[in-house]
Structure 1
Amino acid sequence: MVQREESARMQRSKPPPGPVRTCIGCRKRELAVELLRVVAVDSGDGPGNGQVVVIVDTAKALPGRGAWLHPRSECLHAAVRRRAFGRALRITGSPDITAVIERFDSSERPDTAAPREQVAKNMSTP
């Protein structure tokens, strides 16, 4: 019987203990349980107005395409700077991410949270 020696790559690569997703801010891969899922929903201002709102899916069960983000302000700022929300959620135009920004503001200490004006300024910069 022929025994094969496992390569170093085969020895190192164990399957992760759950689904792995990529953060849209820093582009690092992480277990889905460590990331926040965000989804795009219609704003409800009326049919056909095209306004899209991005919200945090805390139960990770809302329908539609989702994007994943580390719960750190650095990743939020990187995603805003790179305009990653629209690309990851496959929506045209710039979505309203106020709900996501408020979630980060409420979950962090006031001295480490970035001002909302700075995030809004980064969104409007071409």
Structure 2
Amino acid sequence: MTSPQRADPVRTCVGCRKRAAKRELLRVTAGSDAHGRAAAVPDPTATAPGRGAHLHPSVACYDLAVRRKAFGRALRVSTGISAAPVGDYLTSVTSTASEA
């Protein structure tokens, strides 16, 4: 008797609002930036504690999320939250991938 295959968990991208497998998305959590202000920070290993939001690892979805102010809503942070750390992470990942 074989066990049924488990389906990958599905999450919704806060940028484009499309559903995708959890492993295809970048998890983002509430944290603080280098100056101690509230910020959305990338969690590529998906191991940080607390509430998370998911985002396709693309600049287009990031721009949509910033324009809609989706990080604050998804992470349930009432004050203004900076998304710069996520943008910096995506820029470094895409520039590293293009160099390889």
TM range (shorter): 0.7 to 0.9
Equivalent residue number for residue 25 of structure 1: 15
Percent identity reads: 44
What are the Cα deviations for residues 56-115 of structure 1, in whole angstroms up to 9, with x where unaligned? Answer: 111101010000000111100000010000000000122122210101111224xxxxxx
**1-structure distance, mates of 2:31, 2:14:** 18
Which portions of structure 1, spanning 4 or more consecutive aligned residues, are displaced by more than 3 angstroms?
42-46
Higher Rg: 1
From 59, 62, 77, the equivalent of 2:48 is 62
* TM-score, normalised relative to structure 2: 0.81
Distance 1:44 1:71, change over 3 A: closer
Matched, 1:38 2:28: yes
Q: Structure 1, unaligned stretches of length 5 or more? A: 1-14, 110-126
Equivalent residue number for residue 79 of structure 1: 65
Q: CA deviation at 1:17?
A: 2.1
**2-structure distance, mates of 1:81, 1:42:** 20
Which secondary structure does the structure 2 equivalent of 1:108 belong to?
helix
Which secondary structure does the structure 2 equivalent of 1:61 belong to?
coil
Q: CA deviation at 1:54?
A: 1.3
- Once superposed, what is the RMSD of the aligned Cα atoms? 2.4
Higher relative contact order (CA 8 A, sep 6+): 2
- Which structure shows the bigger proportion of residues in strand conformation? 2
Q: Structure 2, unaligned stretches of length 5 or more? A: 96-100
**2-structure distance, mates of 1:94, 1:108:** 27
